[in-house]
Amino acid sequence: MINSMTGFGRERKILNNREIIVEVRSVNNRFCEFSCRTPRNYGYLDERLKGLFKSQITRGKVEVSVSIYKQEGADAEIAINKSIASGYINALRSVKDEFSLTDDLSLSSIMRLPDVFTVVKTEDDEEEIWRDVSEVANGALSLFLDMRKTEGAKLYDDVLSRLALIEENVTKIEDRSPKVNDEYRDRLFAKLQEVLQDTNIDEQRVLTEAAIFADKTAVDEETVRLRSHIAQFRGLLEAKEPIGRKLDFLVQELNREVNTIGSKCQDITITRMVVDMKAEIEKIREQIQNIE
């Protein structure tokens, strides 16, 4: 089943005291174009995310956005500056006897002294962060791919219905084409009678002229190739690998055969069918621009 190149996925989780949000979106593009937006100091995630997403995506302009919010205090470590605390204690006790003070130093009193405690920022564990981000990114990627499949199913139904309309017109052209030759022969015979004012017309000459006309306007080969291209188109729509570029080539072939039929046939009824088929082919062309 085909996939659309348009999709969106978003996942949010709190892992190891970090809120991680990953969003992925894409629009159609001839190739796979990837861009990633990560917070400052997390640039090392870009290449890994690129590898993760491009392993599942072959075409489209893909944009990934990563947000990481640390919970307050989660990256801080409290340390006691023992040398400063010791200096405070020794200095206070050195004046205890001199000023007849009571030695009532306690932990709570030491805590209130400046610079006794220091806050140290812990270094990020890059591997741990990557494991957490990749877990969230895989969730977003799964939702993104699901949306692509859903959109692809809609494209599949639409393209199939248009192929059916084209095939219906091919059948009508095959039915109409022999009648066009008969009508031309009758018109030619009538014209010769009118011009020559004689009923003794060389029927063999009329038949020869009609045969030349039929040869010039024959579209049997084109209709056979059209049916073949339509069958290939349907087969590709069932393929599991990316098919967007192959479909683009087949659309060109469909258009070429229809144009040839239009240039050969000098019949208003067939001309109208050709116009209808070209309209359907153009709509198919627009649709496959969004197929992966």
pTM attached to this predicted model: 0.68
Query: Are 188 and 249 contained in the same domain?
Result: yes
Q: β-strands 18-27, 32-37: how paired?
A: unpaired
Give the pLDDT of residue 150. Answer: 94
- Residue 228 has a CB neighbour count (10 Å cut-off) of 12
Residue 2 lies in a domain: no
Cβ neighbour number for residue 103 with a 10 Å cutoff? 8
Instruction: Based on the fold, state whether residues 201 and 156 are members of the same structural domain.
Output: yes
Q: Is residue 1 part of a domain?
A: no
pLDDT of residue 85: 77
Answer yes or no: do 84 and 46 share one domain: no
Q: What is the pLDDT of residue 68?
A: 93
Give tens-digit pLDDT for 195-239.
555 556 555 655 565 555 555 556 778 889 999 999 999 999 988
Average pLDDT on 268-286 reads 93
Paired with 21 in beta bridges are 12, 67
What whole-number distance in Å separates Cα of residue 275 and Cα of residue 279? 6
Assigned domain for 67 exists? yes
The answer to whether residues 110 and 226 belong to one domain is no
Cβ atoms 1, 152 nearer than 8 A: yes
pLDDT band at 86 (very low <50, low <70, confident <90, very high): confident
Locus of tokens 């140290």: 120
Q: Given the structure tokens 């090392």, which residue do they identify?
A: 44
Q: What is the mean pLDDT of the chain?
A: 83
Q: Are 18 and 91 found together in one domain?
A: no
- Do residue 141 and residue 101 come from a single domain? no
Place of tokens 């001199």: 98
Domain that holds residue 80: 76-121
Co-location of 27 and 133 in the same domain? yes
